[in-house]
Amino acid sequence: MELHTRELCYLLLTPLTGILFVNIIFRILLMVSENQVIQLYEQYPALIGIVPVVAALFYVGILATIASYQKMVGLQEEKERYFVEQQQVHAIQERMVEVDQFYDGIRRMKHEMKNHLTNIKGLLESGDYGGMGQYISRMDESMDAFEFSIKTGNAVTDVIVNDRQKATEKQGIQFRSEFNYPESERYDAYDIGIIVNNLLQNALEACGKMRQGDRYIFISSRQKRKFFLIEVRNPFQGEIIMDADMNLPISTKEKELFGRQGSMHEIGLSNVKREAEKYMGDVDIRVK
């Protein structure tokens, strides 16, 4: 981990104090007074035991400093993970509320369908064919509001993919989906939702930063037996710096959020990697 200047100064305090202490001891260990050599230990015999104890305390202090710093780093990483998880939970909860509202609207529409049929029957019996046509047109418009243009096979991913499609249309970005929710019951919709949501959000941000060129987002999925692959493609502008250890891009947001680059990987892709590893999977990022 890259050390900040302030943190490096903290770690150097104990060794520097030890060096100064040893320098002082050496200077007063032997003194010449009126052609007589005076040894410090002869005047102060207790120092024979005190000096080694102080030296040992310096060593212990160095070890304690390193241990405390490592613990502090661990707590910071745990805090960041907790923050990320809370953000993801909040995002998924919002999606679930949208799904519930969507299906609640469908339930209301089914309940009202009987009344609609009664009204249409009345218009038909009265011979008001023009009014009946207008009534049916209004029903079509009402039902279109509850229809997803993209169906993935799962309510959670339906909401996420269609929501991202609407966001891309507002920005003039082409969106194409060939994503289908996995047939296997081994996968949790919550986990798949986190992966799809973060991948599409990352792609949307990359396209949003492009000032020119063909902007598009393409998401697809393939399943072969128990193997499930999710793929997202999108263009970008600028340079991608990859972290050799995590094989993830280092986000430009890190320097703004944490004061130095390299302190934390891009939140979205880190979450994707974490969720994939829950299923013994991995993330492969390729730049062309």
Q: Which two tokens stand for residue 225?
A: 């037996």
Q: What is the pLDDT of residue 264?
A: 38
Q: pTM higher than 0.85 for the full model?
A: no
What is the model's pLDDT at position 259?
A: 42
pLDDT at 222 over 80: yes
What is the model's pLDDT at position 251? 57
pLDDT of residue 255: 45
pLDDT in tens, 251-265: 554 444 444 444 333
Give the per-residue pLDDT at 266: 61
Strand 36-39 and strand 174-178: pairing? unpaired
pLDDT tens, residue by residue, 116-155? 777 777 877 787 778 777 777 777 666 655 567 788 988 8
The pLDDT score that the predictor gives to residue 252 is: 52
Predicted local confidence at residue 143, as pLDDT: 61
Q: What pLDDT, on a 0 to 100 scale, did the predictor assign at position 140?
A: 67
Lowest mean pLDDT among 1-5, 157-161, 226-230: 1-5
| Helices vs. strands in the chain: H and E counts, helices first | 8, 5
**pLDDT value of residue 261:** 41
What was the pLDDT predicted at 218? 96
> Buried b vs exposed e over 119-151: b needs ≥16 C-beta within 10 Å?
eeeebeeeeeeeebeeeeeebeeeeeeeeeebe
